Chains A and B, each alone.
Chain A
Amino acid sequence: MKKMINNPEAAVEEMLEGMVAAFPGYIKKLENFSVIVRADAPVEGKVALVSGGGSGHEPAHAGFVGKGMLDAGVAGAVFTSPTPDQVFEAIKAVDSGEGVLLIIKNYTGDVMNFEMAKEMAEAEGIKVASVIVNDDVAVENSTYTTGRRGIAGTVFVHKIAGAKAFMGADLSEVKRTAEKVIANVRSMGMALTPCVVPTAGKPTFTLAEDEMEIGMGIHGEPGTKRTKIQPADQVVEHLMDKILGDISLNEGDEVAVMINGLGATPLMEQFIINRKVSQILKEKGIKTHKTYVGEFMTSIEMAGFSITILKLDEELKELLDAPADTPAFKQL
């Protein structure tokens, strides 16, 4: 393992300390908890948004804490859901009395830990609602599985529900908006290399020099298939086939695009990927309203990327275009 850290056990804590040191005007850390909240939390009169999950996905989730997005980001151990007491502390720290929306990615552990936190908060009289993001089309949805995973599409939920809350909507309206995003967002990813969890010290899986894994999650869990490496355009075509095959888009429809690097994919490659994505959308007569390229939800130092497509209507467009000011997501 070759990492610029001090002690694997302290990696998450030290990362959070460094983040707060970099953005003191934006965020603060709750004492004794791996929870990042807005520096001005709780924001009076506003529904609060809490998200989180395992660490290793930076800048998610703490990087999206700020005006127009999240009120708190809860950081678990690397690739391990945070515990209910952490989430509960986050809820208490950001609730202004208007209620709290939990944005949860669809993993068994995350769902259970956040649900327990919700029960704890409700027992103290705090209004809490929750939504579960499951945008990854790589995993087939069926009654026999846990269902689709939540990946980079979650960032669009943070952005749009965050804008809705900023505009003063009540908890049920903010939840409805988040659910609308979830219903209209699809993602899929691939990996060229695995990643190393600091406490494990070795890669989560192995890929040969000439292999890639399609349908990769964001924790090194298996994808849908392993093949010989192909040119970028061909890989993008495959991923876009799966994504567009899962959501009904007609000529003239508008979408937002997110190309998300998984940690070790350079911007050069991300733009090459976006070139093909935009060509495919153009050929189909689908209008790209906005494109985001960069690292939003990573998998430590994994080489690979995901494509996210969000189908827009007037409401979602307006909310997506609204300003946001957070450490990792700034929009005028």
Chain B
Amino acid sequence: MTIDNKVLLKIIENIAVKVKENKEYLTELDSAIGDGDHGINMDRGFQAVQEKLPALADKDCGTILKTVGITLVSTVGGASGPLYGTAFMRAGGVSANKYELNREDFLEILEAALEGIKMRGKAERGDKTIVDALEPAVLAFRENLQSPNPLLKALEAAREGVDYTKSISAKKGRASYLGDRSIGHQDPGATSCCLMLEALAETLEPQEA
């Protein structure tokens, strides 16, 4: 698994498509326990990202990821903007000047993204947030780093994490005002995070994801 900057751009493009396809779904999930705009906000952000992609064609992976982050921060708003924005900016920080990413690089990127989100959102696993999908995915990727397909293991773990959010009550974000009434609902943030990993896996392993 080696990714060059062209493939990275393709991944970002596919994430944007995936977010668009799931705009209504994410908004529906958010209407149940939040303020019902997650899909709308994420789609607005990734549309802005898509417009920037052509200009990034020859740039290094760090610049690409940072640009995605800055664009999300300035267009998404709410809590998702700073969270995903920070994640991509941190990911860009550890991949500066690289035109190719191997597995180890990719692990570093995922870890930096996770750390960024946890720092910005002050969230831990079990709070019913993005972290419930992303942290298990990063751990699975690390554990299976030398196996044939760490990415599919990561995606599997993220999907389990999304399911797990249905069983817990929210401790962060507007959903936390609901207390136990948030139990039974799937977290929109964990879901959008899982969709991004899905787009990533589908780009790199089209036949298996």
Q: Answer yes or no: do A and B interact.
A: yes
| Residues of chain A whose beta carbon lies under 8 Å from any beta carbon of chain B | 76-77, 79-85, 107-109, 112-113, 115-116, 139, 144-146, 149, 199-200, 204, 217, 219-222
CB distance from B96 to the nearest CB of A (A): 17
Cα distance A77–B41 in the bound complex, in angstroms: 10
Contacts of A219 in B (CB 8 A): 35
Contact B74 A85 (CB under 8 A): yes
CB-defined A-B contacts under 8 Å, sample of 14: A80-B41, A84-B73, A84-B74, A85-B73, A108-B174, A109-B81, A116-B82, A144-B176, A146-B173, A219-B35, A220-B35, A221-B174, A221-B177, A222-B177
Shortest 5 CB-CB contacts between residues of A and residues of B = A112-B82, A109-B79, A145-B176, A109-B78, A80-B77
Cα distance A116–B85 in the bound complex, in angstroms: 10
Out of B35, B37, B77, B179, which one reaches A113, CB within 8 Å?
A: B77
From residue 112 to 137 of chain B, which have CB atoms closer than 8 A to chain A? 120-121
Contact B73 A139 (CB under 8 A): no
B7 contacts the other chain (Cβ, under 8 Å)?
A: no
CB distance from A109 to the nearest CB of B (A): 4
Contact A80 B82 (CB under 8 A): no
Contacts of A220 in B (CB 8 A): 35
Out of B76, B172, B178, which one reaches A108, CB within 8 Å?
A: B172
Out of A81, A139, A200, which one reaches B77, CB within 8 Å?
A: A81
Contacts of A85 in B (CB 8 A): 73-74
B93 contacts the other chain (Cβ, under 8 Å)?
A: no
From residue 168 to 190 of chain B, which have CB atoms closer than 8 A to chain A? 171-174, 176-179, 181
Contacts of B200 in A (CB 8 A): none
If A145-B179, A199-B40, A204-B36 touch, does A83 touch B77 (CB 8 Å cutoff)? yes
Contacts of B81 in A (CB 8 A): 81, 83, 109, 113
Cα distance A112–B173 in the bound complex, in angstroms: 11
A108-B173, A112-B79 given; 11 more Cβ-contact pairs under 8 Å: A84-B73, A85-B73, A108-B79, A108-B121, A115-B120, A116-B82, A139-B177, A146-B173, A204-B35, A220-B35, A222-B181
If A79-B35, A85-B74, A199-B40 touch, does A112 touch B171 (CB 8 Å cutoff)? no
| Residues of chain B whose beta carbon lies under 8 Å from any beta carbon of chain A | 35-37, 40-41, 73-83, 85-86, 120-121, 171-174, 176-179, 181
Contacts of A77 in B (CB 8 A): 77
What is the total of A-B residue contacts with beta carbons within 8 Å? Answer: 79
Contact B75 A83 (CB under 8 A): yes
Contacts of A84 in B (CB 8 A): 73-74, 82
Cα distance A79–B115 in the bound complex, in angstroms: 28
Contact A146 B177 (CB under 8 A): yes
Contact A146 B176 (CB under 8 A): yes
A145, A219, A222 pick with most chain B CB within 10 angstroms: A145
Out of A76, A112, A221, which one reaches B120, CB within 8 Å?
A: A112
Out of B85, B121, B177, which one reaches A145, CB within 8 Å?
A: B177
Contact B41 A112 (CB under 8 A): no
Cα distance A84–B82 in the bound complex, in angstroms: 8
Cα distance A139–B78 in the bound complex, in angstroms: 20
Contacts of B85 in A (CB 8 A): 116
- Chain A residue with the shortest CB-CB distance to B75: A83
- Chain A residue with the shortest CB-CB distance to B86: A116
Contacts of B179 in A (CB 8 A): 145
Contacts of B83 in A (CB 8 A): 112
Cα distance A77–B78 in the bound complex, in angstroms: 9
- Chain A residue with the shortest CB-CB distance to B176: A145
Contacts of A109 in B (CB 8 A): 77-82
Cα distance A81–B73 in the bound complex, in angstroms: 11
CB distance from B91 to the nearest CB of A (A): 16
Cα distance A149–B177 in the bound complex, in angstroms: 9
Out of A76, A139, A146, A221, which one reaches B35, CB within 8 Å?
A: A221
Cα distance A220–B36 in the bound complex, in angstroms: 11
Contact B37 A107 (CB under 8 A): no
- Chain A residue with the shortest CB-CB distance to B173: A108
Cα distance A222–B36 in the bound complex, in angstroms: 13
Contact B176 A76 (CB under 8 A): no
B41, B172, B174, B179 pick with most chain A CB within 10 angstroms: B174
Contacts of B76 in A (CB 8 A): 83
Contact B36 A113 (CB under 8 A): no
If A80-B37, A81-B77, A83-B73 touch, does A146 touch B121 (CB 8 Å cutoff)? no
Contact B77 A146 (CB under 8 A): no
- Chain B residue with the shortest CB-CB distance to A77: B77
CB distance from A4 to the nearest CB of B (A): 23
CB distance from B11 to the nearest CB of A (A): 24
Cα distance A115–B174 in the bound complex, in angstroms: 18
Contact A76 B172 (CB under 8 A): no
Cα distance A81–B74 in the bound complex, in angstroms: 11
Contacts of B41 in A (CB 8 A): 80
If A108-B121, A221-B35 touch, does A80 touch B176 (CB 8 Å cutoff)? no
